[in-house]
Chains A and B, each alone.
Chain A
Amino acid sequence: MRGHELADFEIDNLRVGVDGREILKGITLAINRGEVHAVMGPNGSGKSTLSNALMGHPGYQILGGRATFLGQDLLLLTPDQRARLGLYLAFQYPTTVPGVTMANFLRSALNAKRGYDGKDKSKAISPTEFRALLKEPMETLRIDSTFLSRYINDGFSGGEKKRAEILQMAILQPQLAILDETDSGLDIDSIKYVAEAINEMRRPGLGVLIITHYTRILEFVKPDRVHVLVGGVVVRSGGAEVADALEQTGYSEWVDEPTVASAGEY
């Protein structure tokens, strides 16, 4: 065991496999609430494996190591328990759920967080509270009101999906949010709206882990720490200057890939 005091979110030598293949080969990170960390890496470095494994996706096998969140062993919890504890994942590719409206979805998520199990009505969120909670973040994110009656991510553009992920984060008010390539596929305006919303949410009680290929979003959301993930291991950690250096040289130090800043959208 390590000698220092446990951080709010502590990942210790975490190893994760997919379909029997080891992708993450021992990741160690410590994030406290109030901090913004960025994990940067080229394609195939294990970025999405990290975010999915931390949220508890059943398709990812934990091969070793530990992850604790607010003193609890995260790896023993189901995804919904992790969420209710205060963990949030903004998905890279949010899935579509036909027939379930965003309003129904958001209300169910809020009610789950409040411990409403269909019995004690006093725990359920009221329509007034619900509207009030949504108003500001919807304005910041430029999401129009018809959004609530649409089905979950059904027919959403790429940008709408990403903004919807940030909206959910805003109303669920997690203690630690993992943003999995939230910036990819976004035009510059959408990145600004998203960054604006994230900055509005920054507070001492929220830790943020931004997972990204590019440096662009970090121009708007300044990270405290930057970690470079290559081949399933963290090859460098440092302050914001690590991202600046990456902007110049890209991941070429570790892999054969063009510079980060100039890389186009896909």
Chain B
Amino acid sequence: MAVSPTINVGDDYKEKYGFFDPEKFVFKAKRGLSEEIVREISWMKGEPDWMTKMRLRSLGIFRKKPMPTWGADLSVIDFENIFYFLKSTEKQAQNWDDVPSDIKRTFDRLGVPQAERKFLAGVAAQYESEVVYHSLHDELAKKGVIFLDTDTALREHPEFFTEYFGTIIPPADNKFSALNTAVWSGGSFIYVPKGVKVDIPLQAYFRINAENMGQFERTLIICDEGSFVHYIEGCTAPIYTTDSLHSAVVEIVVKRGARCRYTTIQNWSTNVFNLVTKRAVCYADATMEWVDGNLGSQITMKYPSVYLMEPGARGDVLSVAFAGAGQHQDAGGKMVHVAPNTTSTITSKSISKGGGRTSYRGLVKVHPGAHHVKSFVKCDALLLDEHSISDTYPYIECDESQVSIGHEATVSKVSDEQLFYLESRGIPAAEAETMIVNGFIEPFTKELPLEYAVELNRLIQLEMEGSVG
């Protein structure tokens, strides 16, 4: 029991998640995107020449690629009105005491230091564009586990970057992966050596705290043969009035017999465009699990994917999306079966309320020769009122006959009978509805560490407030 900290979740959403500290910048680039800005970012970070060139090449790709039109409406994004880089403190702190007090206050209110003391193996908390605080337990370091912000990792372990960076998600993959590669900053780098099992989750808190600031973190995780790691990313953002862009890229390599779980709970403020590319490649008998919770944001487009490269590989996506008024959560998953005897599941749970829209968009692709593939996709949508929308785009591309692919989709409403039953026990209507919604996503919640499960239930409660009556 001692390892389960209580994240102190406050009573009021604005108090808890909408506060902001006065911006305090060491460096603030100009708005908009140019070759000059990209060079400046790379120069500020003291990057090797090849990375500068890759950034510039990616900028060219970004400019050439048209805006994707197959999903959510992205036409309102003004790329020229965004800050592409901020650095909030000169250098990273190794010790909590060295963290500047205004930043510390932000983290105190999010409960990070308590969590760190009691539970965390390491904290890489991203405040604005640069990691300001990072710690790692000695024992993990002794085992050879590397857990750093990506900028530092590039300086200290360039060999991983020349080998893997941009190979799982190349800049040309899509417009936003190109943008991220051009202006990326921060993010996490993890390397787990052969046979090492990291038994406590590695966590990072991400936060956008500057108005109109894009956040383009870049994460690279390499699980060597037979290893295990669980990485947890939690996001909360303060509430601002102008549009904000979050466009991350997450690349993961899971080698033979290894297992990686990547858990995200995102709660962006409702003006954020959250356009994220996440992909893992999975080798023989390896397992990749994406556990992905999307609350908040104005538009989210996110389809964590797994490329199953060798026999025995397994990929799982478990996702939850909650869309309230004015929000569109376009989320799902992608499983690409390249090798025979590979398995995958995609489980999607979505909740729409107040006219919000959730879309499940998924792809199961089976390459020629990938026989005895098993895949199952299940999407359940819960609509809380008549104005809300849920739609499903399940794509299957199969070039092999000996496969088993299942798909199941349900759309339901909170039933009057369930509400009446809970109310008849004295539970007020609003609380009863929240209980039912939390029950609906329970298959997701039960996969989370306790304090995240508590926080997610609390976030759902906040989202639900005022939705009844």
B-contacting residues of A (Cβ < 8 Å)?
A: 55-59, 78-80, 82-84, 88-89, 91, 94-100, 104-105, 108-109, 112-113, 118-119, 151-152, 168, 172
Contacts of B427 in A (CB 8 A): 80, 108-109, 112
Given contacts A78-B429, A79-B420, A105-B422, A95 and B439 within 8 Å (CB-CB): no
Task: Supply 22 A–B pairs (Cβ within 8 Å), ascending by A.
Answer: A55-B420, A56-B420, A56-B423, A59-B416, A79-B420, A80-B428, A80-B429, A80-B432, A82-B424, A83-B425, A89-B424, A97-B421, A98-B440, A99-B438, A99-B440, A99-B442, A105-B422, A108-B427, A108-B435, A113-B426, A152-B421, A172-B425
Does any Cβ of A come within 8 Å of B418's Cβ?
Answer: yes
Contacts of A104 in B (CB 8 A): 435
A79–B440 Cα gap in the complex (Å)?
Answer: 23
Contacts of B11 in A (CB 8 A): 118-119
| Residues of chain B in range 1-36 having any CB-CB distance to chain A below 8 Å | 11
B426→A58 contact, CB < 8 A: no
B424→A55 contact, CB < 8 A: yes
A119–B9 Cα gap in the complex (Å)?
Answer: 12
Which partner residue on chain A sits nearest B430 by CB separation?
A80
A24–B80 Cα gap in the complex (Å)?
Answer: 69
Contacts of A89 in B (CB 8 A): 424
Which partner residue on chain A sits nearest B441 by CB separation?
A99
4 closest A-B pairs by CB: A99-B439, A99-B442, A83-B426, A100-B439
A130–B254 Cα gap in the complex (Å)?
Answer: 45
A83→B424 contact, CB < 8 A: yes
Given contacts A95-B417, A97-B418, A118-B11, A79 and B439 within 8 Å (CB-CB): no
A82–B429 Cα gap in the complex (Å)?
Answer: 13
Does any Cβ of A come within 8 Å of B449's Cβ?
Answer: no
Given contacts A100-B438, A118-B11, A58 and B443 within 8 Å (CB-CB): no
Contacts of A118 in B (CB 8 A): 11
CB distance from B464 to the nearest CB of A (A): 13
A58→B420 contact, CB < 8 A: yes
| Residues of chain B in range 386-423 having any CB-CB distance to chain A below 8 Å | 415-418, 420-423
Contacts of B441 in A (CB 8 A): 99
A97→B416 contact, CB < 8 A: no
| Residues of chain B in range 228-256 having any CB-CB distance to chain A below 8 Å | none
Contacts of B363 in A (CB 8 A): none
A80→B435 contact, CB < 8 A: no
A80–B436 Cα gap in the complex (Å)?
Answer: 16
A55–B426 Cα gap in the complex (Å)?
Answer: 11
A188–B429 Cα gap in the complex (Å)?
Answer: 37
Given contacts A57-B420, A108-B431, A119-B11, A97 and B426 within 8 Å (CB-CB): no
Contacts of B428 in A (CB 8 A): 80, 112
Partner of B423, one of A78, A94, A151: A78
Partner of A97, one of B422, B429, B443: B422
Given contacts A91-B421, A97-B418, A98-B442, A112 and B436 within 8 Å (CB-CB): no
CB distance from A259 to the nearest CB of B (A): 33
Contacts of A98 in B (CB 8 A): 439-440, 442
- Apart from the given pairs A95-B417, A104-B435, A108-B435, 17 other A-B contacts in the complex at a CB distance below 8 Å: A56-B423, A59-B416, A78-B423, A78-B429, A80-B427, A80-B429, A83-B423, A95-B421, A97-B421, A97-B435, A98-B439, A100-B436, A100-B438, A105-B425, A109-B427, A118-B11, A151-B439
Which partner residue on chain A sits nearest B414 by CB separation?
A97
Contacts of B442 in A (CB 8 A): 98-100, 151
Which partner residue on chain B sits nearest A84 by CB separation?
B426
Given contacts A100-B435, A118-B11, A151-B439, A95 and B424 within 8 Å (CB-CB): no
Contacts of B418 in A (CB 8 A): 95-97
Which partner residue on chain B sits nearest A89 by CB separation?
B424
Give the one of B11, B431, B443 with max A CB within 10 A. B431
A80→B426 contact, CB < 8 A: yes
A118–B454 Cα gap in the complex (Å)?
Answer: 14
A79–B11 Cα gap in the complex (Å)?
Answer: 26
Contacts of A97 in B (CB 8 A): 418, 421-422, 435-436, 439
A232–B436 Cα gap in the complex (Å)?
Answer: 34
Which partner residue on chain B sits nearest A109 by CB separation?
B425
A140–B243 Cα gap in the complex (Å)?
Answer: 61
A172→B440 contact, CB < 8 A: no
A100–B415 Cα gap in the complex (Å)?
Answer: 14
Which partner residue on chain A sits nearest B420 by CB separation?
A57
B435→A112 contact, CB < 8 A: no
Chain B 423-467: CB-based contact to A (< 8 A → 1; otherwise 0): 111111101100110111111000000000000000000000000
A99–B349 Cα gap in the complex (Å)?
Answer: 13
